[in-house]
Amino acid sequence: MDLSKHEGAEPASGKPYPYVTRLDIRYAPLEVVDVRALVEACTDPWWNQTLCKVNESVVRLGVVQGEYHWHKHDDEDEFFYVVSGRFLIDLEERTVDLAPGQGFVVPKGVRHRPRAPERTVILMVEGAGIIPTGD
């Protein structure tokens, strides 16, 4: 797999997912992480970039609009933090509605579907080995 970009295939259709997910680590330790410049340059509707590694976790930036697919991560928790916009996380029994300045942890093994009704900027913290499209 090309570590600079992860697309994967949709399980049912075999077609590539319509997301751009960059798994390369963009910033090394002691470098300034320029989130604003990355957000301003983004033209994709659902885009993720790994910003940096912190111990055994990574911090990812997402610029998203629309729906992701239902999925889960068997061995990893995910933390989502909203920088701007509105971010919804559908769980099987409820929907979590996050505004700027709010965050939420989806525990490992919990099926979920992220959605953004408008262009939204999020930060994610997750284990470095996580498969973004789910297990």
Mean pLDDT of all residues in the chain? 90
Instruction: Please indicate, yes or no, whether the overall pTM of this predicted structure exceeds 0.75.
Output: yes
Quick check: 12 pLDDT over 90? no
- Give the residue-averaged pLDDT of 82-95: 98
Q: Count other C-beta atoms under 10 Å from residue 98's C-beta.
A: 20
Which one has a higher pLDDT value, 1 or 83? 83
Q: Identify the DSSP state of 71.
A: B
CB 76 within 8 Å of CB 108: yes
Q: Could you give the percent of the chain with pLDDT greater than 90?
A: 81
